[in-house]
């Protein structure tokens, strides 16, 4: 079945450093890839997304890249701050049969002050 | 604009009981999707409702059901609860069906089955 692999599961960085989270998807028909940030006690919040016709998208300190050939997409956070600490999920919208989001297993990011 | 709201936020039930969770989408949004989030399985898709019709369904047993009302509010029901149903249940709303629109999550309902 469709799946999304996400790495690493935990990531600790020093404040000001960059963080990179990587995901690989299996359904080549997937065409939309959102990233969510989930803080304790809250639901996931959309932070950036990318569609399959775009290779890269940037929003201030956050960027996402997509390699359709390799079925990889990555989240890049630059100049990390303590408030970036949270669990980050990648997802892929699968369009084979049922339209649904397949989520990665999450990355717990800790930004050390 | 108010976000997605879910009630109740916390719920404790015992095995064999049934439970109903409620989700109110963002005003104007017509699609509501439900997810189960557990530490072991992550976020798993349950079903999506659009204009009172179930559009898509995940791989969950028939004990999990849902419905959507004409005002787009949605309810999810789980019958004959099992210990493994303990999870955070999230709903997400979209302007249209998930196939074309980004979705926004509510804070979730934490269900504990004893």
Which whole number is the average pLDDT over A30-52?
92
Residue A98 has pLDDT above 80, yes or no: no
Q: What is the pLDDT of residue B100?
A: 62
Residue ranges of chain B whose CB lies within 8 Å of a chain A CB: 4, 33, 42-45, 48, 55-58, 90, 92, 97-99, 102-108
Which whole number is the average pLDDT over A22-37?
93
> How far is residue A15's CA from residue A65's CA, in Å, rounded to a whole number?
23
Q: What is the pLDDT of residue B41?
A: 82
> How far is residue A8's CA from residue A25's CA, in Å, rounded to a whole number?
15
CB contact under 8 A, B58 and A43: no
Distances from the Cα of A65 to the Cα of A30, A51, A93, B40, angstroms: 15, 10, 16, 28
Distances from the Cα of B103 to the Cα of B11, B74, B84, B98, angstroms: 25, 15, 26, 7
CB contact under 8 A, A41 and B107: yes
Q: Write out pLDDT tens, residues B3-55.
A: 999 999 999 999 999 999 999 999 999 999 999 999 888 899 999 999 999 98
Nearest by CB to residue B58, choosing from A34, A42, A100, is A100
Q: What is the pLDDT of residue B99?
A: 64
Residue B98's pLDDT band, with cuts at 50, 70 and 90, is low
- Could you tell me what percent of chain A has a pLDDT over 70? 100
Residue B1 has pLDDT above 70, yes or no: no
Residue A74: alpha-carbon gap to chain centroid: 6
Q: Write out pLDDT tens, residues B75-92.
A: 999 999 999 999 999 999
Residue ranges of chain A whose CB lies within 8 Å of a chain B CB: 34, 36, 41-46, 49, 89, 91, 93, 95, 98-106
Residue of A nearest to B89 (CA): A43
CB contact under 8 A, B108 and A34: no
CB contact under 8 A, B58 and A104: no
Are A79 and A16 spatial neighbours (Cβ–Cβ below 8 Å)?
yes
Residues of A whose CB is below 8 A from B92? 43
CB contact under 8 A, A93 and B58: no
Strands B74-78 and B103-105: unpaired
Q: What is the pLDDT of residue A97?
A: 74
Residue A74's pLDDT band, with cuts at 50, 70 and 90, is very high
Residue of A nearest to B100 (CA): A32
């Amino acid at each position: 079945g469709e799946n999304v692999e996400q790495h690493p599961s935990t990531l600790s960085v020093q404040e000001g450093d960059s963080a990179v989270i990587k995901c690989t998807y299996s359904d080549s028909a997937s065409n939309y890839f959102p990233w969510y940030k989930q803080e304790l006690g809250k639901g996931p919040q959309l932070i950036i997304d990318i569609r399959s016709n775009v290779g890269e998208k940037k929003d201030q300190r956050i960027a996402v890249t997509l390699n359709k050939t390799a079925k990889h997409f990555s989240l890049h956070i630059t100049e990390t701050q303590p408030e970036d600490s949270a669990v980050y999920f990648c997802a892929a919208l699968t369009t084979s049969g049922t339209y649904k989001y397949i989520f990665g297993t999450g990355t717990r990011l800790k930004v050390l002050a | 604009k108010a976000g997605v709201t879910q009630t109740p936020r916390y719920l404790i039930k015992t095995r064999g009981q049934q439970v109903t969770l409620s989700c109110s989408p963002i005003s104007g949004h017509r699609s509501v999707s439900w997810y189960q989030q557990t530490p072991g399985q992550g976020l798993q898709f349950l079903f999506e409702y659009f204009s009172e019709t179930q559009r898509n369904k995940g791989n969950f047993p028939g004990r999990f059901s849902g419905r959507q009302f004409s005002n787009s509010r949605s309810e999810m029901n789980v019958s004959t609860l099992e210990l493994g149903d303990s999870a955070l249940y999230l709903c997400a709303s979209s302007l249209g069906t998930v196939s074309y629109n980004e979705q926004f999550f509510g804070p979730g309902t934490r269900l504990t089955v004893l």
